[in-house]
Every structure is written in structure tokens, then in C-alpha cells.
Structure 1
Amino acid sequence: MTEHSTRLDARFGHRVLDPMPTQEELEAFYRDTYYTLIDEGRRAADIARSRRGGEEADDQARWLSETLHRDITDAIQEHGNGGKRVLEVGCGLGGLLADLADRGFEPLGVDLATAAVEAVRERGFTAHAGAFDELVSAGTIVPGSVDAVLFVNVLEQTFDPAANLAAAAKALAPGGVVIVRSGNDFNPLQTAAVDALGMPRWWISAPEHIHYLSYDAVEAMMRSVGLSPRYRQSDFPMELFLLLGSDYITDKSLGGDCHHRRVAFERALPVATRRRLYQAFAQAGMGRCLFVVAAKTGDG
């Protein structure tokens, strides 16, 4: 496994891929290459399951609806302005958009990959192809026109996360919310696995995964563009499996079993219990992914 280098971001304190791709290279990767790699089994196993379809894809969709997508919709309702217009940046195949629509929201998607935009449009949703910050700058996405902006496993893959959060703040109506879900990389359990087991830093993925974000870095970016952080939680710490002897990084055949155990664990917990546990993990900086909610305050 080739291990790429990272450097410390001087402004927000997170790790950044070094060297970074150019914005043009990144956009070309998503437009021309990303979904080919997914279909070859070399990226985003969750998206690959969705594209294959069948019982496995259906079960994944149900699990996401029960957990992550419910967390997102509940956070919009709890921390937002009561509006229903929700924009997802990096909407992929539209699974979250569909759940949003089922729960009474008015979803809109944005994606760099034309394959994703076409798939979302085929499902009957509105979607724009292109870079989100550029669409806002061009007026394609009108300032103040949405009540929530979602970055689900995508902010870390943008060339400039702070610029995208600034674009989100511009697109939001007063009192609207931004929700960021991203890999929680260089976390204490990952570091423990590297140190104890001699593993490479497997979470570094070039060229698309540029920014290795932390809770503090995301919240600092939010504050820098006038957003007010309101809530943080994590999710299941998948690295525990490595430390318990199931090396799903080296032995790919173990990955499915680890995933199914995680799903069973989350389904067994009441929603409130799961959230309290994952909030506690977040305060300790642990959990495979971070989840941060911020609100746009004032009239701007």
C-alpha cells in the first residue's frame, strides 16, 4: 500500500494531502474517473453496493435511512429555521435526496460527476452539475434560497473547504443550517492501530481525499465564515475491529463481516442511546466519521 504524505494546514490545524492536486485535476477526476474506480471496487464500497442494486443495496438504504439520514433530518428540524429547502453537495446517486423528499423536504442536488447528476435526475430530483462554490458565485444557486446545506462525505474532497462553507453560508436563508459529515481521520484509535500493529495510514487516499478534517478544524472553518456551531456527534469507531484482531484493511474479506456487525449494533440501540454514545465519542475525538451542525445567525 502506497502511503502518501500530508502536511499541517497552517490556518485550521488539520492535515492536508501533500502535494495537493489542482482544482482542475480534482474536477476532472470526479468527472471522468471516480465512478469507474467505484465500479472496479477500488473506491467507496457503499456507493458500489448502491450501484449494483439488489438485496444488499436495499438493506444498506434502509440502514442509512434509520441512522445517518434520520440524524440529518432531525438535526435540520431541531437546529434550523423550519424551512424545507435542502441542498446536498455531492449528492451521489440520490439516496439521501429520496429520504429527504419522503420526510417532507424539498431536496436539490449538486455533484461534479455527470453520472451522479444523471442518476439523480432520473429519480425525478433537480440536480446541478459542477463545483458548488462556482454555482453559487455564478448565481445558479441563488443566495438565501435554501434552508439547509449538506456536505456528507464530501467537504474533505473539495479543493477549499472553507470556501465551500462560505458558499453554503451565502446560499442559506437566515437561521438555516450547514451539516458536515466527514471522515474523522488521524483520530486516536487510528493512531493506536498504526502504532500497535505497524499499519500504514490506510485512510489517506489520493487524489480525491485532500483534507483530513477534525471536529475542531471543521468548527473553526464554520466560525470563519460566520456560521455558529451547534452540535457534534460521531459514529461507530470502525478502528476497534483492527485493535480487536480483525484486520479488514489487510484482509479485505473481513470488511463485509465488520460492516454487518456495526450495522447490527446500531440497529439494536434505541436512537437516543446511539446518539448519546456517539456524542460521547465525539467529545473524545473518536468515531470513524464526524458530524457537525452549524447555523447561520442574523439577517445576512
Structure 2
Amino acid sequence: MSDRKCWTEHSGQVLHSKDGFDVIDCECCGFKHIIPLPSEEELREIYKHDYHVKDKPLMLEHQLEDREWLDATNNARLEKLEEFLGRKGRILDVGAGNGFFLQRAADRGWEAKGVEPSDKAAEYAGSQGLDVDCAVFDRSSAASLGLFDVIHLGDVMEHLPDPAGMLELCRDTLAPGGLIAVGVPNEYTPVQKILNRDMKVRPWWVAPPHHLNYFDRESLENLLTRTGFSPMHAEVSFPMELFLLMGRNYLDNPELGRECHAMRKELEMSLTRTGNRKFLDKLYTCFAEAGMGRTVLMVARKEG
């Protein structure tokens, strides 16, 4: 597509269209997002009641199946945060989900707090003895929480109508020298473009109204910088799109998707169990240099 569209103050080239929404490369925001953007009230209803029940009904079941891998992944992430911070401290998990990251943080000695808008997910996290508020993280809810040494947002920013506003709120909720860790899907990658443009695979990553924003490393880093952070570390996860290039089209086959995911898990756990996590990091650094990786995580320090 080569059309250019405007909506309120947002304008840019249209990349894809789906279900009445257009994905634009927004010149105002510096990252790709849909137009029109749903209201915050509409999104609150989606995530409070529907997301973990209607849209992601098997999320908890799959997370329980993946427990060993999730714990290893979360441990590695927390180790890096402890290294960058120089200690453990107060950590806030925004969009805590069912609480698996928060559980690892608490087990490692962090003072761990979570905020989660889904009532079902927050209820499960609470049943595991975790301190999770069923709420949207906004100025009102943040006012009673105090300051944190680290704020973690895993798979949150792609869902927000105002991601810059969220980062500004996180900055104000961090103690001086505090860290933010932001993980998002890595979209419009070279592999995705090849599959869509040259192999006519549908753009499966375009998923409005749940996914509003489409980041890559550069656009996420730029947004963090504009909102008062100094980026200091970036990493990616396994590029699942490689399976599509190898003829394993899991897009409309959930069972095959789980098989591909199991292969990815085995790769990572084999290297983790044998004490070769650093080699895994080097492998994923190579993927990142090629613009690949299914997700990108960026750690940044609060300026000032």
C-alpha cells in the first residue's frame, strides 16, 4: 500500500488495513500504530473482562505447561536488572498477567508489586500469594504506590492508546536512577516483510484493536529517549517467523504452533541447563543485528 492518511494529529503512510483500522507509519509519534485509536474506556472493558477469557482463553494453561522455560527466561531477565541496578529493590510489574514474572522476582528477594487490569488474571496471581492490584496503571492508581527501583512492562506498550504517556508516568514513579524494562513484539521485521511481500503470507502480526502499536528496536529506543530515559541494553527473543520460512506454517494451526514453540523452548533450555546461557545471548545478539527477533526488550535508566 502507498496511501497516506491523517487522523486527528496522526498522519503517515498506510502499511496495512484490517477490520476497519489502518496501520500507519506515524510521522508525529515516530512509531507505527493503528488509526482510528480506540478510546481508553473501550480498551478498559476489553482487558478487564474479555482478554484472558475470550481472546486468550488458554494463556494460563500454556503458561503452566511452559513453567520451567518461563522461570528460566524471567530469571535471566531479573539477573540483568539486578546487575544494572547493582542490587535488588522495589519492582513494579505493570500488566502483571497471571504473575509468573512477579513470582520469580519475589522468590529472588525483590519487594514485588503488580498491577493488572484483567480481573481473571489478577485473581489467579493473588491466589498464588502475590501482591497484585486489579487496576489500570494510571495517575490515580500510581499515586498510592510510592516509588520503585524498577518498573517492568512486558507485552503492554502495544496495547496502549498513549504509550508515551505511560512512559512518562513510569518515569515519575521511579526513584532517582531507577530502571525501566520494556518488552514488546518486534514488528515489521525484514523476515515479516519478505513473507508478506514476496511470499504472499498474510500480515498475521496486524491485530487491531488489541495491538494498537507496532514497535521495533529503533522506534522503542527513540520513544524511551524522548520520554526521559537513557537506553542501556537491548535484546531479542527467538524469531518464530523462521519456522514459516522453513515451511512450518503455524499461523492457522494452533497445534503446530505449540510444536514450533516447543522446539524453540528446547533450544533455549538445552543451553540453559548446560550452563551455556551466554552462548544463547550471543546467538540472539546476531538475530538482533539482522533486525530479527519475535520480541525486543529494552532496559533504560531514568534521567536526572
Q: Same fold judged by TM-score > 0.5? A: yes
Q: 1:49 aligns with which of 43, 59, 62?
A: 62
1:219 matched to which residue of 2? 221
The answer to whether structure 1 residue 115 and structure 2 residue 120 are counterparts is yes
Kindly state the Cα deviation for residue 63 of structure 1 after the two structures are TM-superposed.
0.3
1:131 matched to which residue of 2? 136
The answer to whether structure 1 residue 10 and structure 2 residue 27 are counterparts is yes
The answer to whether structure 1 residue 92 and structure 2 residue 97 are counterparts is yes
- Looking at structure 2, the residues matched to 24 and 140 of structure 1 have their Cα atoms a distance apart, in angstroms, of 22
Indicate the SS of the match to 1:258.
Answer: helix
Kindly state the Cα deviation for residue 136 of structure 1 after the two structures are TM-superposed.
5.3
CA contact (8 A) 2:241 2:294 kept: yes
CA contact (8 A) 1:233 1:280 kept: no
Q: How is 1:1-300 mapped onto 2 (pairs within 5 angstroms)?
A: 3-4=18-19, 5-38=22-55, 40=57, 46-50=59-63, 57-58=64-65, 60-67=66-73, 69-80=74-85, 82-135=87-140, 139-142=143-146, 145-269=147-271, 270-298=276-304
Give the TM-score normalised by structure 1: 0.88
CA contact (8 A) 1:12 1:217 kept: no
Give the TM-score normalised by structure 2: 0.87
- Looking at structure 2, the residues matched to 11 and 47 of structure 1 have their Cα atoms a distance apart, in angstroms, of 37
CA contact (8 A) 1:135 1:141 kept: no
Higher strand share: 2
1:54 matched to which residue of 2? none
String of CA shifts for 1:62-92, please: whole Å, max 9, x gaps. 101112x023202211222534111001001
Indicate the SS of the match to 1:228.
Answer: strand
Kindly state the Cα deviation for residue 11 of structure 1 after the two structures are TM-superposed.
3.3
CA contact (8 A) 1:136 1:171 kept: no
Kindly state the Cα deviation for residue 32 of structure 1 after the two structures are TM-superposed.
2.1
String of CA shifts for 1:112-140, please: whole Å, max 9, x gaps. 11222222222222222222133456x12
- Looking at structure 1, the residues matched to 75 and 53 of structure 2 have their Cα atoms a distance apart, in angstroms, of 30
CA contact (8 A) 1:93 1:117 kept: yes
> Cα gap change, 1:203/1:48 in structure 2, threshold over 3 Å: closer, same or farther?
farther
- Looking at structure 1, the residues matched to 61 and 155 of structure 2 have their Cα atoms a distance apart, in angstroms, of 15
Letter in 2 for 1:9: C
Indicate the SS of the match to 1:11.
Answer: coil
What stretches of structure 1 of length at least 5 have no aligned partner? 51-56
Kindly state the Cα deviation for residue 279 of structure 1 after the two structures are TM-superposed.
2.1
Farther off after superposition, 249-258 or 88-97: 249-258
CA contact (8 A) 2:164 2:227 kept: yes
Indicate the SS of the match to 1:208.
Answer: coil
- Looking at structure 2, the residues matched to 47 and 281 of structure 1 have their Cα atoms a distance apart, in angstroms, of 29
- Looking at structure 2, the residues matched to 72 and 127 of structure 1 have their Cα atoms a distance apart, in angstroms, of 20
Count of equivalent residues: 282
| Greater relative CO, 1 or 2 (CA 8 Å, sep 6+) | 1
What stretches of structure 2 of length at least 5 have no aligned partner? 1-16
Letter in 1 for 2:284: Y
Across the aligned residues of Structure 1 and Structure 2, the Cα RMSD in angstroms comes to: 1.8
- Looking at structure 2, the residues matched to 11 and 177 of structure 1 have their Cα atoms a distance apart, in angstroms, of 26
Indicate the SS of the match to 1:86.
Answer: strand
String of CA shifts for 1:146-203, please: whole Å, max 9, x gaps. 1100011111111211111111111111121100111001111111111232111101
> Cα gap change, 1:39/1:160 in structure 2, threshold over 3 Å: closer, same or farther?
closer
Letter in 2 for 1:208: H
> Cα gap change, 1:262/1:46 in structure 2, threshold over 3 Å: closer, same or farther?
farther
- Looking at structure 1, the residues matched to 286 and 139 of structure 2 have their Cα atoms a distance apart, in angstroms, of 37
Indicate the SS of the match to 2:121.
Answer: helix
Letter in 2 for 1:292: M
- Looking at structure 2, the residues matched to 13 and 126 of structure 1 have their Cα atoms a distance apart, in angstroms, of 35
CA contact (8 A) 2:135 2:141 kept: no
Q: Determine what percentage of the aligned residue pairs are the same residue.
A: 30
- Looking at structure 1, the residues matched to 236 and 107 of structure 2 have their Cα atoms a distance apart, in angstroms, of 25
Indicate the SS of the match to 1:247.
Answer: coil
- Looking at structure 2, the residues matched to 214 and 258 of structure 1 have their Cα atoms a distance apart, in angstroms, of 23
Indicate the SS of the match to 2:18.
Answer: coil
